[in-house]
Homo-oligomer: A and B are copies of this chain.
Amino acid sequence: MTTFGRHPDATIVDLAEEAARKALLDAQVDPAEIDALYLGNFLGQSLQHQGVLASLIARRLGLSNVPTTSVEGACASAGIALRHGVMATRANMASTVLCIGAELLTNVDVARVTGGLAEAMEQQTDGATGLTFPGFFGLVASAHSAQYGTTREQLAAVPVKNRAHGVTNPNAMFKKPVSLGDVIGARPIADPLNLLDCSPISDGAAAAVVTSRPRGDQPLDILACDQASGPAAVHQMSSLTTFPATVAAAERAYKQAGVGADEIDVIELHDCFSIAEIVDCEDLGLLPRGHAAALIAEGATTYGVGDIVVNPSGGLLSRGHPVGATGLAQIHELAQQLRGVANNQVEDAELALAHNLGGCGATATVTILGARS
């Protein structure tokens, strides 16, 4: 992956190229061996006015006339790109696939970026009300509080943990720890969420090589890679405290991998806002429903205390969130964890899970990775 943060002089193709060349080097794969390319990207057209990005990136990398496809599922676009690498190899329609996620947001003014991100909402109803993503997740936090008694302090424990994890991540946008007081006292964004409850607007790219002919020092097994859809507009939701797309993708992924949630050692999940991590932990079956907020605040998902570590990279809150790249940055972190070479190594990590969420739960992917013995 590239560093996440501001890349004022780069294009999406530049960012994608950097991540792709690093992934090819790591996998010991020559560009000539790549026989398909998937790109996850959300706002290349709306903000940069550039379509056909998958083909432009293939040309930059010197690939031949391989199939190149851009996939879109808002903030889950990179998780979807990875899944299609798996699908192409399983279908025997490719043997070695380059999966890339890339996004460029900070070269555009914040109002336009906020408007662009709102394209992940249903426009006829939610968008028309002026609802933004901080606003939507503020509603989720209020509903979770009403239903389960989740407190402002418990919400704040999420960014405190993730910012602490991110301190040693050289690719993270934010490497400074924050305190509970910092989060609770930060500028309000959308009640009850404050500035430090929200992931930042960022640029960056990440990539992975999926192949049916593994080589390199330490290939990993993709034990499952599932994708599901869910309600995309608020009026379609029967509950604001769960994302059915996550639940469905996770159920199928655990079944396919033949493992239970309790067997996972390390998790990268979609903490676009503090409340999202709490809901995700419940939807993924990592923590009991209604109890995740308290358990996270007690340390159940961090080093030395919990049985699992959630977002060792710092997550979206610390690493940053170039939306179409996030799902593959999660895979980057988990690969280091399963190889035993991560910056924040989780001891004896053998099973890892990545969770990528798009829109207001419109789409989600869940990937389970295993170390090769």
The yes or no answer to A359 lying at the interface (CB within 8 A) is yes
User: Is the CB–CB distance between B42 and A123 below 8 Å?
Assistant: no
User: Is the CB–CB distance between B54 and A229 below 8 Å?
Assistant: yes
User: Is the CB–CB distance between A359 and B69 below 8 Å?
Assistant: no
Which of the candidate stretches A89-97, A158-166, A291-299 sits at the interface with the other chain?
A: A89-97
User: Is the CB–CB distance between A56 and B228 below 8 Å?
Assistant: no
**Which residues in B have their C-beta under 8 angstroms from that of A232?**
52, 55-56, 59
* Alpha-carbon gap, A245 to B127, bound state (A): 38
**Which residues in B have their C-beta under 8 angstroms from that of A231?**
59
* Alpha-carbon gap, A9 to B168, bound state (A): 54
User: Is the CB–CB distance between B119 and A49 below 8 Å?
Assistant: yes
- Binary per-residue interface labels of chain A (183-194) against chain B in the complex, 1 for a CB within 8 Å, 0 otherwise: 000000000000
* Alpha-carbon gap, A248 to B55, bound state (A): 14
Distance in Å from the Cβ of A18 to the closest Cβ of chain B? 17
The one of B51, B74, B87 that contacts A52, using a Cβ cutoff of 8 Å: B74
**Which residues in B have their C-beta under 8 angstroms from that of A92?**
90
**Residue of B at shortest CB range from A360?**
B52
**Which residues in B have their C-beta under 8 angstroms from that of A233?**
56, 59
The yes or no answer to A115 lying at the interface (CB within 8 A) is yes
Distance in Å from the Cβ of A289 to the closest Cβ of chain B? 18
**Which residues in B have their C-beta under 8 angstroms from that of A118?**
49
User: Is the CB–CB distance between B48 and A45 below 8 Å?
Assistant: no
The yes or no answer to A373 lying at the interface (CB within 8 A) is no
* Alpha-carbon gap, A229 to B98, bound state (A): 14
A residues contacting B by CB (< 8 A) are 11, 37, 42-43, 45-46, 48-52, 54-56, 58-59, 63-74, 80, 83-84, 86-88, 90-93, 115, 118-124, 127, 226-233, 236, 244-245, 247-249, 358-359, 362-363
Other than the known A51-B74, A54-B73, A63-B229, what 18 A-B pairs have Cβ atoms closer than 8 Å?
A11-B124, A37-B229, A49-B123, A49-B127, A52-B74, A52-B232, A52-B362, A55-B73, A55-B230, A56-B362, A65-B244, A65-B247, A68-B73, A69-B71, A69-B80, A84-B84, A84-B87, A87-B93
